[in-house]
Amino acid sequence: MTGASRGVSLYVLLLLTLLHTLSLTDRFLIAAFGTQISLDLGLSNQQFGFVTGLAFTLFYATTGPLAGLMVDRFGPGRLLGLGVLVWSAMTGLTGGAKSIT
């Protein structure tokens, strides 16, 4: 491996590590502040459990295979960029949520 390709590989590794860390932090914060989120949105325990459990799992189960097909077709770089863009937009929009409906 040349010095340039090693540098690019290290950069990509660090970028992916940062994105994964942010994703996990985002996920853990929802659980940590579940009580406050439920009160703010007027959610019952069942509704909060649905949103953070079943709905979350179904979303990942349905989008995972689709993302795999898109990576094969468009390449990982493009899909990663699109994923970060969509994830950032959706995370920003959650600040305006007033309910789950």
pLDDT in tens, 17-64: 998 998 889 888 988 999 999 999 999 999 999 988 998 899 889 998
The string of DSSP codes covering 49-74 is: HIIIIIHHHHHHHHHHHHHHHHHHHH
Q: Where are the domains of the chain?
A: 3-96
CA distance 47 to 30: 14
Q: What is the pTM of this model?
A: 0.65
Q: What is the mean pLDDT of residues 4-16?
A: 87
Contact 77, 12 (CB under 8 A): no
Please say if the pLDDT value at position 1 is more than 70: no
Please say if the pLDDT value at position 74 is more than 90: yes
What is the pLDDT at residue 46?
93
| Average pLDDT for the chain | 88
Positive/negative CA dihedral, 29, 31, 33, 39: positive
